[in-house]
Amino acid sequence: MKLRIAILGTRGVPNYYGGFEHISEYVSAGLVKRGHSVTVYNSHNHPYQQDSWNGVEIRHCYDPEYLVGTAGQFVYDMNCLLDVRKRNFDVVMLMGYTSSSVWGQLYPKHSTIITNMDGMEWKRTKYSKPVQQFLKYAEKLAVKHSDYYVADSRVIKSYLKDKYNINSKYIPYGADIFTDFEREQYDVSEALKEDYFLLMARMEPENNIEAILEGFNRSNSAKKFKVLGDTSNRFGKFITNKFANDQRIQFKGAIFDTPKVRSLQNNSYLYFHGHSVGGTNPSLLEAMASEALIAAHNNPFNKSVLNTDAFYFSNATEVTHLVENVQRKAPEKNMVMNNLHKIQYQFNWERVIDQYEEFIIESYKHKNYEAIIADK
C-alpha cells in the first residue's frame, strides 16, 4: 500500500535545528524510497529553499517567528494546517504538539492523524509556571485531536498509558554506525585523540550544562572541555560568561556538519550527556553510534537507553569525580561496544523507518476500517 503522507511540526528538512527535524529527514526520505508520496512542511525562513529534497516534496509556509518570537510558531503551524486541508493526504504526522494542538479543530477529518507525543515538554525548567500549565493543556489537546500516537521512549509510552489511558507505538530515534570515511574527516590538528571532554546540547537549563561545567571547573584536569551548541540565547550567554575565566572550556558554537560532530564524539575522552527531559535523545544515540564513552545525567530517559553502559551523575560534585577518575580501560571499552550493539540492533535507521511505515499503514487501515463499519 502506497500512501500520501504529510509531516508537520518541524522547522523543516534538511535539519538545521534539532531532534524532530533530524528524524523527519530520515523518515521522510526513507518512506519515499519505500514508494510513498511524502510532503514535509518547511518554514519559509528555512535555509533550504528548493521544492524537493531527496524525493520529498517541500511545502514552504510563512513563519513569523523571526518577527514576533515564540508566538510566531503558532501562526506557522496554523498556516501549515490550512495548507494541509487543501490537499488530499492519507496520513498527517505531527511531530510534537507544543504549538499545533491548539489548532486541533483544523486537523483534516479525512486524514489519519498521528502525533509524535514528544517528551513531557511541560517539565522543562526554561518555561515559566503559566507556560508549563499551557503545555499540559496542549498535551491534553494533542491526545484529544489525534487518532494514533508515537512515543519515542518507553518512559513516555508508560506515562501516556498512565495519564490518558491511551496506547502509543514506541518508535525510537535512530543513528548510523560510525564509518571509516567519517574517521578520515577529523582534523587531527584541532585536538589530539582523547585529550578533551565533550558536551553537545541546546543551551537550556534542563540539559544540566551548568552542573557539568561547574563540575569540570572544580576539577584538576589538564584536558580541554569542548562545548557544542548555539550560545546566543540568554542561558547561553550566562554560561559563557560564568566560565569565561576557565581557559580549558571552549565554546565551539553549533555545528551541523554531522561527520565533524561524530568525529568529535568519537575522539572525546568522555562525552557528557546532560539531557533530563524528553524521550530518546538523538545526540545521545549519535554519541553511542560514534563509539563515545558516555557520562549521562541520572534519569529514567537516559537509563532506558544506556542501562549499565554509561557513567551517571546527578550534580556537579559527581561530575568532578568522573572527570578526575574515569579511566579508559577494558571495562569502559565494553560499555562502548555494548552501546554500539544497541545501535546496530535497536536504534538503526532502517529499523526505525520500517517501524514508522508499518505503524502508518496499520493506523491508516484501522481508521478507514472503522469508518466503513460506522457507515454500515
The model's pLDDT over 229-279, given as tens digits with 9 standing for 90+, comes to 999 999 999 999 999 999 999 999 988 777 888 889 999 999 999 998 777
Q: Residue 194 — left, alpha, or beta (φ > 0 → left; ψ -120 to 50 → alpha)?
A: left
The share of the chain scoring above pLDDT 90, in percent, equals 76
What's the average model confidence in pLDDT over 72-81?
Answer: 97
Cell 495519564 -> residue: 163
Alpha helices in the chain (DSSP H): 19-33, 65-68, 71-84, 129-145, 154-164, 180-185, 209-218, 234-242, 258-267, 282-289, 300-306, 316-325, 330-345, 349-375
What's the average model confidence in pLDDT over 331-352?
Answer: 94
Long-range Cβ contact pairs of 77-83 (< 8 A, separation 24 or more) = 77/8, 77/9, 77/103, 78/103, 78/106, 80/8, 80/41, 81/8, 81/106, 81/107, 81/108, 82/106, 83/41, 83/59
Q: What predicted TM-score, i.e. pTM, was given to this entire model?
A: 0.85
- Better-predicted residue by pLDDT, 32 or 17: 32
Lookup: cell for 35: 514508494
**What pLDDT was estimated at residue 196?**
95
**What pLDDT was estimated at residue 174?**
93
| Separation in Å, CA 230 to CA 126, 255, 292 | 16, 8, 22
pLDDT digits (tens, 9 = 90+) for 294-335: 999 999 999 999 999 999 999 999 999 999 999 988 888 899
pLDDT digits (tens, 9 = 90+) for 192-201: 577 899 999 9
pLDDT digits (tens, 9 = 90+) for 141-161: 999 999 999 999 898 999 999
**What pLDDT was estimated at residue 118?**
81
d(CA 94, CA 107): 10
Among 98, 307, 57, 294, smallest CA distance to 197 is for 294
Distance from the Cα of residue 266 to its chain's centroid: 20
- Better-predicted residue by pLDDT, 368 or 338: 338
**What pLDDT was estimated at residue 109?**
94
**What pLDDT was estimated at residue 190?**
53
d(CA 361, CA 112): 10
The pLDDT-based confidence of 191 (bands split at 50, 70, 90) is very low
pLDDT digits (tens, 9 = 90+) for 108-122: 999 999 999 986 777
Instruction: Quote the mean pLDDT of the chain.
Output: 91
